[in-house]
């Protein structure tokens, strides 16, 4: 099985590591515009051969793990170049624009729209890790538009990697994921910004910040190259979540200004049941 990984960073690299472990016959072909990343992936051993778009006709599976705006641009070209029996899946955090972009492509049936809910705040080939996908949810959109045989090939990979599958339409995916993922990244980035702006002497932050701050600001380490296009793709939903988040923060601030700490207590108590909701999320 010849697997082409386009973008050999955290996400693509972690797929390569697990696929090599789960499929004896897998050969990983790395494609990346960043030559240093390709060399690093080769030396780390999860890519077997450097490759390019010119060789895509040899592929049995193509994984695109690159920023969503680049995927939208390249996906039609990738579908043009593959053979009829090849499965292409992406891993992007937005799905609507991607699905729309290939809706009328003659090889639409070769494409599976996927979003594995997995990652870390790190990026690049050196961030790739084994078992990143074990026990994680993989959201598949418009599964009915993918050829049945190729759905099966995708599922075989996802199952061997230990993922749970969930089916959803692209619009619902983008709406829900804005709340449980995209908003978290913005809240974290802006928290980091607010604190950095205030505390020019960085030793002060370092000394006084505990694990709580580290936890809320962790996502502010994420790659802008990956995230700016996600916000762009999902603009409408993300703006809506931001509007609601800002309204809630403003109301909290007003309660404080009015010395209404009884209501503030209640707000926190009401939100505490997030404990139960979160049970089981690593």
Q: Give the footprint of a second copy on residues 104-163 (CB under 8 A).
A: 117-121, 136-137, 139
**Contact (Cβ atoms closer than 8 angstroms) between residue 238 and residue 178:** yes
Closest contact distance (angstroms) between CB of 45 and a second copy is 26
**Contact (Cβ atoms closer than 8 angstroms) between residue 57 and residue 80:** no
- Binding of residue 94 to a second copy (CB under 8 A): no
Q: Which is nearer to a second copy, 149 or 193 (CB)?
A: 193
- Binding of residue 189 to a second copy (CB under 8 A): yes
Q: Which is nearer to a second copy, 159 or 271 (CB)?
A: 271
Q: Which is nearer to a second copy, 1 or 127 (CB)?
A: 127
212-231 positions binding a second copy, by CB under 8 A: 212-222, 224-225, 227-229, 231
Kindly list the distances between the CA atom of residue 37 and the CA atoms of 6, 126, 131, in Å, as whole numbers in the listed order.
11, 9, 21
Residue span 14-33 as binding mask against a second copy, x where in contact by CB under 8 A, dash where not: --------------------
Q: Strand, helix or coil at 84?
A: coil
Round to whole Å and give the CA distance between 173 and 191: 26
Count of residues engaged in binding a second copy, rule: CB under 8 A: 94
- Binding of residue 53 to a second copy (CB under 8 A): no
Q: Which is nearer to a second copy, 24 or 282 (CB)?
A: 282
Task: Name the one range near a second copy by CB under 8 A: 22-30, 79-87, 102-110, 185-193.
Answer: 185-193
Q: Which is nearer to a second copy, 20 or 97 (CB)?
A: 97
**Residue that has been written with the tokens 């890790």 in this structure:** 129
Tokens representing 38?
């390709």
223-236 burial, b if ≥16 CB within 10 A, otherwise e? eeebbebbbebbee
Among 24, 54, 144, 210, binds a second copy (CB under 8 A): 210
Edge to edge, the sheet with strand 111-116 lists: 49-50, 27-31, 2-6, 61-64, 87-90, 111-116, 137-141, 164-168
Closest contact distance (angstroms) between CB of 64 and a second copy is 20
- Binding of residue 70 to a second copy (CB under 8 A): no
- Binding of residue 52 to a second copy (CB under 8 A): no
E strands, the chain, where?
2-6, 27-31, 49-50, 61-64, 87-90, 111-116, 137-141, 164-168
């Amino acid at each position: 099985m010849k697997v082409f990984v386009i973008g050999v960073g955290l996400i693509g690299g972690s797929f390569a590591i697990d696929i090599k472990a789960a499929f004896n016959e897998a050969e990983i072909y790395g494609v990346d515009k960043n030559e240093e990343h390709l060399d690093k992936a080769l030396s780390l051993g999860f890519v077997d051969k450097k490759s390019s778009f010119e060789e895509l006709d040899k592929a049995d599976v193509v994984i695109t793990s690159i920023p969503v705006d680049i995927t939208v641009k390249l996906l039609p070209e990738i579908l043009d170049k593959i053979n009829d029996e090849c499965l292409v899946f992406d891993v992007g955090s937005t799905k609507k624009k991607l699905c729309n972009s290939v809706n009328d492509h003659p090889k639409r049936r070769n494409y599976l729209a996927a979003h594995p809910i997995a990652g870390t705040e790190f990026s690049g080939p050196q961030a790739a890790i084994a078992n990143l996908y074990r026990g994680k949810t993989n959201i598949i959109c418009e599964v009915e538009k993918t050829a049945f045989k190729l759905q099966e090939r995708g599922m075989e990979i996802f199952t061997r990697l230990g993922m749970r599958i969930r089916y959803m339409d692209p619009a619902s995916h983008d709406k829900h994921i804005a709340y449980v993922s995209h908003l978290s990244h913005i809240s974290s980035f802006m928290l980091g910004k607010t604190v950095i702006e205030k505390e020019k002497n960085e030793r002060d932050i370092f000394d006084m910040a505990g694990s709580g701050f580290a936890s809320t600001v962790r996502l502010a380490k994420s790659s802008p190259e990956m995230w700016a296009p996600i916000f762009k793709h999902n603009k409408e939903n993300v703006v809506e979540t931001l509007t609601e988040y800002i309204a809630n923060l403003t109301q909290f601030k007003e309660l404080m200004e009015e010395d209404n700490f009884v209501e503030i207590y209640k707000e926190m108590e009401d939100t505490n049941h997030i404990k139960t909701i979160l049970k089981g999320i690593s």
